[in-house]
Copies of this chain bind each other. A is one copy, B any other.
Amino acid sequence: MKTILRLSILVFVAGLLAMTAAKPTRVIFFGDSITQAGVNPGGYIDRLKKTMPADQYELIGAGIGGNKIYDLFLRMDEDVLAKQPDVVVIWVGVNDVWHKATSGTGTDPDKFIKFYNAVVKKLQAANIKVVLCTPAAIGEKTDMTNQQDGDLNQYSKFIRDIAQTQNLPLVDLRKAFLDYDLKNNPENKDRGVLTTDRVHLNDAGNQFVADQMQKVLMVSK
- Asked if B144 and A149 sit within 8 Å, CB to CB, the answer is yes
Q: Is B100 a contact of A105 with CB atoms below 8 Å?
A: yes
Check if B105 sits within 8 Å of A107, measured CB to CB. Answer: yes
Q: Which of A25-66 contact B (CB under 8 A)?
A: none
Does chain B have a CB within 8 A of A70? yes
In Å, the complex CA distance between A74 and B74 comes to 12
| A-B contacts besides A99-B104, A144-B144, 15 pairs, CB < 8 Å | A70-B111, A74-B111, A74-B115, A101-B101, A101-B103, A102-B102, A102-B103, A103-B108, A104-B104, A105-B106, A105-B111, A143-B153, A144-B149, A144-B150, A148-B150
Inter-subunit contact B105/A105 (CB<8 Å): yes
Number of copies: 4
Closest-CB distance, A116 to chain B (whole angstroms): 12
Complex interface: chain B residues within 8 A of A197 (CB): none
A151 to B100, CA, bound (A): 14
Interchain residue pairs A-B with the least CB separation, the first 4: A149-B150, A100-B104, A145-B154, A145-B153
A87-115 CB contacts (< 8 Å) to partner B? 99-108, 111, 114-115
Q: Please, how many residues of chain A have a CB less than 8 angstroms from a CB on the other chain?
A: 31
A146 within 8 A of B: yes
| A157 in contact (CB, < 8 A) | yes
CA distance A179 to B103 in the complex (A): 29
Secondary structure of the A side of the interface? helix
Bound together, the chains give a CA A100 to CA B154 distance in angstroms of: 18
Check: A127 CB closer than 8 A to any chain B CB: no
Minimum C-beta distance from A12 to chain B (A): 28
Query: For residue A151, which residue of chain B has the nearest CB?
Result: B147
Query: Which partner residue on chain B sits nearest A75 by CB separation?
Result: B114
CB-defined contacts of A102 to chain B, threshold 8 Å: 102-103
In chain A, residues 131-153, which have Cβ atoms closer than 8 Å to a Cβ of chain B? Answer: 139, 143-153
**Min CB–CB distance A107 → chain B (angstroms):** 6
Query: Which of A100, A114, A147: most chain B Cβ within 10 A?
Result: A147
- Nearest residue, chain B, Cβ from A156: B145
- Distance in angstroms between the alpha carbons of A147 and B105 in the assembled complex: 13
